[in-house]
Chains A and B, each alone.
Chain A
Amino acid sequence: MKLEMKDSPGQLVAALKPISDVGGNIIAVIHQREPGSDHDTLDVQIVLELPEGRLEKLIVLLKEQGVHIQRIGEQRLLYKRTVILIGHLMHTDLSDTVDQIDSTGFAEVSELAMSMPAVKDRSSSRLTIKSVTREDMEAALAILRRVSQQKSLLLIEPLEESA
């Protein structure tokens, strides 16, 4: 979101505090003084993550701090992971496989690329999954692991290093 606030000491901190108050997570703060702008106000862009349904409350709190919100851009599904499935994908109902993720409400298959050799051969597909949070992504992958096992598909996950 892009914010406009008074350019005086303590204003930036005052604007950031409501974000943590509503359980948000600040990813980046971009704060650049435009040359030639009058020095009364300051433009700040903030990239943040918010739990579902907290945005309205944040807007109220920011207004109370005297912060003017210029623009809000929302992207609902932040997490993205790509997996590859190998096996008899069509015979095991690929649309059902995709639907098992889509029907969760917190994750969806946003892209699907597929290659199908001869009818009897195993086919390969690449699925891009998007989700709201990291936990949702883990849950979506757990579903996909279970479905792959049931349908005898080989699931290739990305290497995610995070200790």
Chain B
Amino acid sequence: MKIALIGLGSVGRGVAEMITKKDLGLNITGLADSKSGAMDPNGLDIFALLTHKKKNGYCGDPDISTLDIIKKADYDALVEVTPTNALSGEPAIGYIKAALARKKHVVTSNKGPIALANKELRAMAGKKGVSLRYEATVAGAIPIMHTLEHGLAGNEILALYGVLNGTCNYILTRMAAEGLTYEQALMEAREMGYAEADPTYDVKGIDAAIKLVILANTIWGNGVTLKDVDCTGIDLLTPDALQLAEEEGCTIRLIAEAIPRKHILRVSPRIIEKTHPLVFDGTLNALTLETDMAKEITLIGRGAGSVETASAIIGDLLYIKDRYDGRA
């Protein structure tokens, strides 16, 4: 199956390297970063292009744009891994629409388009008879979408609880373990490369809320948006509060929670027993689903990382390949 890859940041590089390294029946025929593009219907020399990017800061021909690749390259599935814009979703929404219009499958890790335009994009994909998949948007390597779609098919999902932001989990872990203040733990997270220069999205709970919106729309199709999430971050927590929780055998974690029956859709720091499956140290992510037949299921894994996120994207691509190859 032929792949056009848009975006060569950490995730894009991971996808390119894994597709090249592993024999998966995937062939990259189009590649674009923010400054240039390259295409070849017989497959690109990915190693040469990545080396070129490392040396010169761009991968291909500066005269070929991202949209040129999407509109003209010969491919079956678009992998859209450009940076997230949570406010407008652009330019990624435009990229995805352009590929769907050509009846190309789309796989994305980009939360913006899926949180803002999931319904419209899914409808468009349905009309064109192609697939739109976004496993990588929520909880990195954890196959939550596959689990919902296949493993738990036929189950009614009654509620979900998750630790969906590794940065917050790391900060809370360090505050509890070492008695650090929020500011000290944040600084440490930055030094470790776990927090962005501007950590607002993470620590205010917005990143977790966007993921919650994607999950809620996927599971219940209820059309909720970021504005519907009751969102409280971790930036006002004190080490004393964690100590007070500790005295009761508990700790504090940032929990994203959706219970449609009770009209609950919120992200907030919560007191939680230390023996609870959603309590673990470091930057991992986890999700507990409550269902009518399977009852509780908890998935824990890496929520970020180049190759980890590539795992989710390649899972989506191979699903499409299995389902459509030969028909497309």
CB distance A163 to B245 under 8 Å?
Answer: no
Contact with B along A80-110 (1 / 0, CB 8 A): 0011101000000000000000000000000
Given A82-B271, A156-B269, A159-B255: A124 touches B241 (CB 8 Å cut-off): yes
Given A86-B236, A156-B271, A157-B271: A163 touches B244 (CB 8 Å cut-off): no
CB distance B255 to A86 under 8 Å?
Answer: no
Q: Is B247 an interface residue (CB 8 A)?
A: yes
Q: Is B263 an interface residue (CB 8 A)?
A: no
Residues of chain A lying within 8 A (CB to CB) of residue B20: none
Q: Is A115 an interface residue (CB 8 A)?
A: yes
The interface on chain A, measured as residues whose beta carbon lies within 8 A of the other chain's beta carbons, has a size of: 19
Given A84-B244, A115-B244, A156-B252: A124 touches B238 (CB 8 Å cut-off): yes
The interface on chain B, measured as residues whose beta carbon lies within 8 A of the other chain's beta carbons, has a size of: 31
CB distance A163 to B261 under 8 Å?
Answer: yes
Kindly state the separation between the CA atoms of A157 and B238 in the bound complex, as whole angstroms: 15
Kindly state the separation between the CA atoms of A116 and B255 in the bound complex, as whole angstroms: 26
CB distance A115 to B240 under 8 Å?
Answer: yes
CB distance B271 to A86 under 8 Å?
Answer: no
Residues of chain B lying within 8 A (CB to CB) of residue A82: 248, 250, 271
Kindly state the separation between the CA atoms of A126 and B245 in the bound complex, as whole angstroms: 8
Q: Is B158 an interface residue (CB 8 A)?
A: yes
Interface of A is mostly: strand
Given A82-B271, A124-B238, A126-B247: A159 touches B261 (CB 8 Å cut-off): no
Q: Is A123 an interface residue (CB 8 A)?
A: yes
Q: Taking the nearest CB of chain A, how far is it from the CB of B293, in angstroms? A: 13
Given A115-B243, A126-B247, A161-B290: A154 touches B271 (CB 8 Å cut-off): no
Q: Contact partner of B158 among A123, A126, A159, A163, CB < 8 A?
A: A163
Kindly state the separation between the CA atoms of A8 and B150 in the bound complex, as whole angstroms: 54
Q: Is A10 an interface residue (CB 8 A)?
A: no
Residues of chain B lying within 8 A (CB to CB) of residue A115: 240, 243-244
Q: Nearest residue in A to B269 (C-beta to C-beta)?
A: A156
Q: Is B6 an interface residue (CB 8 A)?
A: no
Most A-side CB within 10 Å, residue of B236, B241, B245: B241
CB distance B241 to A156 under 8 Å?
Answer: yes
Q: Contact partner of A84 among B161, B245, B288, CB < 8 A?
A: B245
Residues of chain B lying within 8 A (CB to CB) of residue A157: 268, 270-271
Q: Is A125 an interface residue (CB 8 A)?
A: yes
Q: Contact partner of B244 among A117, A124, A159, A161, CB < 8 A?
A: A124
Q: List 16 A-B contacts (CB under 8 A).
A: A82-B248, A83-B271, A84-B252, A84-B271, A113-B244, A115-B243, A117-B238, A124-B240, A124-B241, A126-B245, A154-B269, A157-B268, A159-B272, A159-B276, A161-B159, A163-B259
Chain A contacts to B: CB under 8 angstroms:
82-84, 86, 113, 115, 117, 122-126, 154, 156-159, 161, 163
Q: Can you add 16 more A-B contacts, CB < 8 Å, to A84-B252, A84-B271, A158-B272?
A: A82-B248, A84-B244, A84-B245, A86-B237, A122-B236, A123-B240, A124-B241, A124-B244, A125-B244, A154-B237, A158-B271, A159-B276, A159-B278, A161-B159, A161-B296, A163-B290
